[in-house]
Chain A
């Protein structure tokens, strides 16, 4: 069997004395969409950030593309073509929309050749960004900043795309578009995606596999369909809303 693209074993992360991750094991195979669901404070974002080296793991290993990246500096991890669309957007507010997208393209060593094509693709995806390309990022509305954060991550043509709540602050129509786009990129280009999402219906329907995290531990895993059908998942994360 092939090695996973991302392999996490026994991962433990702390904030000061507070333990946020308690021995997390997780695999993301190449070409897969994997999602992690769980309540606020379960440790989903911490897991994604630890993969990127901020904060550092106190114990355990993270392997990416056959290489141990547990102790690698964040900027070196990024160079291995892991792109993140982080929680809270974190765009560059004083740079223009176009400059933000150029920053995203840094990950891709061939971006000189592919930049125009990649730019076209994200503009087709989010037409509002094309209209606003010369505006400073900080003047965009919250939802537009979210689109910019996703577009910036895509510009690097990452091997692994980390999406932390891509639907946050977006209109229902745009949320559906974004999930459609992730599905298309995965099917057509084999993009590997690791997705944190509160919108568990959308996430589990999109993902090949899902993990459930409770208090820093993985408590369940399975195919998206299996998890959607489980009683405890329904009562804990799905009931009362489907948007």
Chain B
């Protein structure tokens, strides 16, 4: 046990993001706790993906600060770091709402690309690899083993040699999770991981994410519209509307929050509940 509490894994501190005259995110602050699942929800166009882009270096916020904290106490100012260092040094990885895999590469190759930096160092920047030095062979074996481990975890090991672009949509989403995990993240940011999954597949995703939560201290930040996922697995939920935080709390609190119901959830779908009761009796 460390003596001091290292604090939250992510602190978003009054960030703003403008595109010309459009204010996409407006002095937003929230934290993601270590070893927990934090969900970011809100209407379409509320600024959720923009927040992810600020955290992972795709955008530089117009104002405010974003800090990642490792368990050893080191702090990384994400708002001022280039994207590749955010992944490599601050250990923040992500998946994409509009899937961005290497479609022509195999599943295994996609996961090896995620470990490229590690392999480059092990090969002494190619030379060791060309000479076949044992250090590189070992590193390469480890990289393949890690890739296989994550392919297995997401249930895609049997398709390791298929092209990523040939996978159905839902499987591509799981492959993105595996690729992000191969970078060894402390914080994993998932942009709509359940989109395109049927209820049964969503439930399997829940089980996967719950098993990853806290494993080696992993923390998760999640954007998702599937309330069956959000309400089931989140420790905390942050709700955005028009770039501002309108609510924050535990799932039970959020579900009954009038502002969230008005802006996002809408009225409870009684009809569907009724059918559900009917077919169960």
Contacts and interface: CB of A to CB of B under 8 A. Distances in A.
Interface residues of A, number: 46
B266 A142 contact: no
B226 interface: yes
A64 B273 CA distance: 37
Interface residues of B, number: 41
Contacts of A229: 279
B166 A141 contact: no
Interface in A132-157: 139-144, 146-147
A18 to B, nearest CB: 7
Contacts, number: 128
A240 B227 contact: no
Contacts of B166: 15, 18
A151 to B, nearest CB: 13
Contact of A147 (B44, B99, B197): B44
Contact of A168 (B168, B196, B201, B228): B196
Contacts of B49: 141-142
Interface string B18-29: 010000000000
A142 B264 CA distance: 16
B216 interface: no
B19 A200 contact: no
A174 B264 CA distance: 8
A-B CB proximity, top 3 nearest: A143-B44, A241-B199, A173-B266
Given A142-B97, A241-B202, 8 more contacts: A40-B170, A143-B44, A168-B195, A201-B276, A205-B271, A236-B200, A240-B202, A243-B199
Interface of A: 15, 18, 37, 39-41, 45, 87-89, 128, 139-144, 146-147, 165, 168-176, 198-202, 205, 228-229, 234, 236-243
